[in-house]
Amino acid sequence: MDKLLIEGGVRLSGEIAISGAKNAALPILCAALLTKEPVTFTNVPRLNDIGTLLRLLEQMGVKVSRDSDGGTVTLDASGVDNPVASYEMVKTMRASILVLGPLVARFGEARVSLPGGCAIGARPVDQHIKGLQAMGACVKVEHGYVHAKVPRLKGARIFTDMVTVTGTENLMMAACLADGETVIENAAREPEVVDLANCLVAMGAQISGAGGDVIRIKGVPALHGATYRVMPDRIETGTYLCAAAVTGGEVRLTGTSASYLDAVVDKLMDTGCEITIERDALRLKAPARLTAVSLRTAPYPAFPTDMQAQFMAINAVADGTAVIRETIFENRFMHAVELQRLGADIKIDGNMAVVKGVDRLEGATVMATDLRASASLIIAGLVADGETTIERIYHLDRGYEKLEAKLAALGARVRRLS
List residues near ligand EPZ by CB under 6 A: 23, 26, 95, 121, 123-128, 162, 164-167, 305-306, 328-329, 371-372, 399
Q: Report whether 238 contacts 375 (CB < 8 A).
A: no
| Closer residue to ligand EPZ in complex, CB, 171/361 | 171
What is the nearest approach in angstroms of ligand EPZ to the Cβ of residue 331? 10
What is the nearest approach in angstroms of ligand EPZ to the Cβ of residue 281? 23
What is the nearest approach in angstroms of ligand EPZ to the Cβ of residue 53? 10
SS3 (DSSP) at 52: helix
Q: Report whether 39 contacts 228 (CB < 8 A).
A: yes
User: Of the listed 30, 118, 138, 273, which one is catalytic?
Assistant: 118
Q: Report whether 134 contacts 158 (CB < 8 A).
A: yes
What would you report as the CA-atom Rg of the chain, rounded to the nearest whole angstrom? 21
Angle at 268 between CA 266 and CA 274, to 5 degrees: 95
What is the nearest approach in angstroms of ligand EPZ to the Cβ of residue 312? 15
Task: Give me the amino acid identity at 28.
Answer: I
Neighbours of 274 (CB within 10 A): 12
**Alpha-carbon gap, residue 307 to 309, rounded angstroms:** 6
| Closer residue to ligand EPZ in complex, CB, 168/248 | 168
What is the nearest approach in angstroms of ligand EPZ to the Cβ of residue 94? 7
Burial class (CB in 10 A: 0-12, 13-18, 19+), 62: buried
| Closer residue to ligand EPZ in complex, CB, 356/392 | 392
Task: Give me the amino acid identity at 365.
Answer: T
| Closer residue to ligand EPZ in complex, CB, 20/399 | 399
Find residue 371's DSSP bridge partners. Answer: none
| Closer residue to ligand EPZ in complex, CB, 252/335 | 335
| Closer residue to ligand EPZ in complex, CB, 290/295 | 295
Cβ neighbors of 405 (< 8 A, separation 6 or more) are none
In this structure, what are the phi and psi dihedrals at residue 390, rounded to the nearest 5 degrees?
A: -105, 120
What is the nearest approach in angstroms of ligand EPZ to the Cβ of residue 400? 10
Tell me how far CA of residue 124 lies from CA of 95, 116, 167, 355, in angstroms: 12, 7, 10, 30
Query: CA 284: distance to chain centroid?
Result: 22
* CA atoms within a 13 Å half-sphere pointing along the CA-CB vector of 309: 29
What is the nearest approach in angstroms of ligand EPZ to the Cβ of residue 108? 22
* CA atoms within a 13 Å half-sphere pointing along the CA-CB vector of 358: 19
Neighbours of 84 (CB within 10 A): 17
| Closer residue to ligand EPZ in complex, CB, 116/121 | 121
Is 30 catalytic? The answer is no
Q: Report whether 363 contacts 339 (CB < 8 A).
A: no
Active site residues: 118
